[in-house]
Amino acid sequence: MIGRLRAPLPCIQLLYLIEKTVSKDCIIASNTSSLSIEELSTSLEYPERFIGMHFFSPANVMKLLEVVRADATSERTAIGVLASLAARKSERGGPVGHKFPTLVFPA
């Protein structure tokens, strides 16, 4: 878990380091709601594997997750994230939104 960064430059530097550290098939996600997922994705060598996942506050009450794609986010990344969330949800049981956030797909 990485703490709160409020300015684009530290995030871009951190994303650069993360990308150089993780495997090439690792999906990199940010939960920022104040920085542009599009802008952050442009700093990556492989922007197709970058996605935003924003939990609405308070997460224990709202139970809502917004998945945000940048222009370069690949279908594989988006589907992979959604499939992973759905698999985790099915392991926990209950209707969508019961114990795991509902998904919102922005246009």
Other C-beta atoms closer than 10 Å to the C-beta of 52 total 23
* Residue 77: both structure tokens together: 């990344």
* Residue 17: both structure tokens together: 């380091």
98 is catalytic: no
62 touches 41 (CB < 8 A): no
Select which of 47, 52, 54, 89 is catalytic: 54
Whole-number Å distance between alpha carbons of 75 and 48: 8
Catalytically active residues, by annotation: 54
